[in-house]
Amino acid sequence: MQLAHDSIRRPVPQTSTQVRRPSHRERDRFVGFAFAAADLLIETDAKGTILFSAGARCRLTEGDVAGLVGSSLLDVVAPNDRKYVTVLFKRIQDKGRIKPARVVFQGCDGNRFPALLGGCRLDSCPGSLFLTVLLASGPRNTNEALAAAGQLLDGNAFSHILEDRILKAREKGLDNALTLLLIDGLQSMVDALPEGAASEVMQGIEAYLRAISANGDSAGQLATDRYGIVHASDIDGQEVQDHITQIIQSVGGELPGGIRTWSLDVSDERLDPADAARALVYTVQAFASAQGGEFTISSLEDGAKRMLSDAVDRIGRLRATIEKRDFFVVYQPIVDIGTRTVHHLEALTRVEGMPSPADFITFAEDVGLIYDFDLLLTQSVLDTMHAHRKEPTLPDVAINLSAKTLMSPIFLRQFLAVTEPYGELARKLLVEVTETVVVTDIAKLNEVLQKLRAAGFRICLDDVGAGSTSFQSLYGIQADFAKIDGHFVRGAVNNGRDMAMLRSIVDVCGQLGLGLIGEQVEGPEHAQLLTELGVPLAQGYLYSRPSRDFAYFAKDWAKMAGTGGKVLRKG
C-alpha cells in the first residue's frame, strides 16, 4: 500500500505551552503500527462525518480514499447495519474504545462485504473518533451469515456458537461474560405500538445487543422476550437494562412487565473448559424453552443460578460415569415369531443407581456428551462379543445411536476407528437409529447411514410411528429394518385407530423393503396380531426380559436356532 507522508499530516494547533512534537520517525512508526492492524484509517466527527481517510480503498470508492472526506461513514454501511454502527459510535464516545466488530459495508459497486470496524477517541482531539477498517472474509456458515445480514442469531444458532465463543475466550484468557436478558411483556408492548414505533424498538434492541456483543456477532434472540449475549466483562446488567429502557421510552412505549438481566460465570473451575461450556449451553437452552412461571422477573435470579449449579453437578457426575465406566449393558432378544428363535440382541444401557436410563441419555444428548458415551458403549459391546467369539453361532447385536450423535461431523470417523480393530466381528453390529425427529436435514443423515452400510453395518430405525421416526424419515432414509413403536402394537388389539396406524406402518415399510420388528410384545395376542399382519420379528417380555447374561444368549443361541426351542424369560 503506497502512502505519501503528506497525506497523513494533520495541522498541530498552536498553544502558549511548548509541547514536544513527535519526530518524523516517531510519527512514521505509529502510522506503520496503525496500517499493520487495518486496511483503512478513518477519522469522523461524533455523527460519522468523515474528516480524514487514508489507506486502501476497500471497495468503498473508485477513486482515492481522500475523496470520502466530507461524506458520512453511514453512507457506505449496509442499510441494515447503520443503526448498529450508530450504537458503536456512541459506545466509542462512552467507553473510549471498542474492539473490532463485524460490520457489513456497501461497496461503490453496490455489493456488500464484511469488515471489522474498531475505534477509539483521544482526549487530545475532542469531537473526533478514530476508526480502523480491516477487511474480513465472507461468512463461513449460516450463523455468520445471519450476523452479517444485520440480524441477531436465533436460539439454535446462538447455542451453536456459544460453546465455541466460551472455549476461545478461556483459551485466550479473554475476560468475557455471558448475560441472559428477559424483557417481560415485550411482544404485547410491540403489538400495541404503531408500526413505525414497533420497528424502531425491535431494531434498536437488536442494534444495541449486537454492538455490545463480542465481535459484533455473539448475540441471539432465544425467544420472543429472551436474549443471550456474549460480551466483554466491562458491560454490566444495569447498563443493559438502562439502555433498553431508553429505547422503549424514546417511542413512548410502556413495558407491562420489567427488564431483568443475569450474568453467568463462563470460567467455572469445577469442570474442564469444554464441560463448563456445555453446562452454560444447557442452561441457556433451558432458559430459552422454559414456559410460564418457570422464569419470571421474581424467579429468574434464584432459578437460573440453581439451574446452572445443577447442570455443573450433573455434568460432573456424567463425566465421572463415562470415565469410570460406571454403567453396564443388558441384552434383550429380538425373536422370530414363527420359530421363536433369536434373530439378534439389543444392547440396552443401565446406570448404577438410576432406575431408568432415559434421563441419563437425554441429559447426555442435551449437553453434548452422548458422543463420548456412545463410543464407549460400542466398545463395551464389542469387547463382550469378542469374549464370546468362539461360540458356534454368536448373535448379532443392535446398539442404539441417536440421530444427533450420527449427525456429528466427527462421530462417523471416531466410530469407524473404534470398530476397525475388531475386524469382521464388528460387522455383527446393527446400528439402531433413534430420535430422527430432531434432524432437520434427513438427506444428510441418510448420507451418514449409507456410509455405515457401505462399511458393512446394517441400519434399523427405532420407534417408527411414534413421531420420533416419521413417515418422512422412512421415505428419506435407506435402512434394513424398522422397529414399530410398541404403543401401536399393544393398542391395536382393542383400538381401531391404533390398528389403522399399525396397518399403515406395515404397508409403507413393506413397500420400502424394510424388515419389520414389533416392540413391547407382552402377551400371545400381540404376537398373534403381528403374525396376521405379516410382521416376522418381535421383542418384548413375552420372550425375555433384558439380562446382563450375554453368555446365556450366546450359548443357547445355537441350540435354539437348531431346535426351534423357546427362549426362556430371564430377569
**CATH code: domain of residue 274:** 3.30.70
Q: How far apart are CA 103 and CA 60, in angstroms?
A: 13
**Per-residue cell: 491:** 393398542
Q: What is the mean predicted confidence (pLDDT) over 51-55?
A: 92
Q: Tell whether 279 and 336 lie within a shared domain.
A: no
Whether 178 and 268 share a structural domain: yes
Domain assignment present for residue 562? The answer is no
SS3 for 433-477 is EECHHHCCCHHHHHHHHHHHHHCCCEEEEEEECCCCECHHHHHHC
Residues in contact with 511: Cβ distance below 8 Å, sequence separation at least 6, in sequence order: none
User: What integer pLDDT is reported at residue 5 of this predicted model?
Assistant: 37
Task: State how many domains the chain has.
Answer: 3
Among 126, 144, 162, identify where a domain stops: 144
Q: Which of 438, 407, 473, 435 minimizes the C-alpha distance to 285?
A: 438
Least confident of 258-262, 326-330, 505-509: 258-262
Residues 125, 274, single domain; the answer is no
Is residue 554, in this structure, part of any structural domain at all? no
Domain of residue 499, CATH code: 3.20.20.450
Kindly state whether residue 12 falls inside one of the protein's structural domains.
no
Tell me how far the alpha carbon of residue 424 is from its chain's centroid.
Answer: 36
If one compares 200 and 275, the residue with the highest pLDDT of the two is 200
Same domain, 265 and 370: no
Could you tell me where the DSSP H helices lie in 43-150? 82-95, 142-148
Cα 106 to Cα 366: distance, rounded to the nearest angstrom: 40
Evaluate whether 448 touches 402 at the Cβ level (below 8 Å). no
- Structure confidence at residue 506 (pLDDT): 93
- The per-residue pLDDT for 449 is 94
Task: Output the nine-digit C-alpha cell for 215.
Answer: 465481535
Residue 157: predicted pLDDT: 85
Mean pLDDT score, 146-169: 73
Nearest to 250 by CA among 214, 288, 207, 211: 207
Same domain, 405 and 531: yes
- Residues 206 and 126 grouped into a single domain: no
Residue 322 located in a structural domain: no
Whether residue 440 is found in the same domain as residue 526: yes
Domain termination site, one of 293, 317, 341: 317
Reference 407, options 431, 371, 379; nearest CA is 371
Which element (helix H / strand E) includes 114? strand 112-120
- Reference 315, options 360, 350, 264, 250; nearest CA is 360
The whole domain housing 368 covers 330-542
Q: 164-173, 314-323, 352-361, 519-528: which has the highest mean pLDDT?
A: 519-528
Residues 423 and 534 in one domain: yes
Alpha-carbon 320 to chain mean position? 24
> What are the pLDDT digits (tens) for 436-461?
556 778 888 999 999 999 999 999 99
565, part of any domain: no
Torsion 358-360-366-370 (CA) sign:
negative
Q: Could you tell me if 311 and 350 lie in one domain?
A: no
Task: Provide the 10 A C-beta neighbour count for residue 79.
Answer: 11
pLDDT above 70 for 571 = no
Q: Residue 69 falls within a domain, yes or no?
A: yes
The answer to whether residue 163 sits within a structural domain is yes
Tell which of 86, 109, 144 closes a domain. 144
The DSSP code sequence of 274-335 is: HHHHHHHHHHHHHHHH--GGGS-TTTHHHHHHHHHHHHHHHHHHHHHHHHHT-EEEEEEEEE
Same domain, 126 and 156: no
In a domain, 10, yes or no: no
Q: 285 with 353, same domain?
A: no
| Residues in contact with 89: Cβ distance below 8 Å, sequence separation at least 6, in sequence order | 44, 46, 47, 48, 119, 129
Task: Return the CATH number at 87.
Answer: 3.30.450.20
- Looking at per-residue pLDDT, the higher value among 475 and 555 belongs to 475
Query: Are 410 and 526 contained in the same domain?
Result: yes
Residue 167's identity, in one-letter code, is L
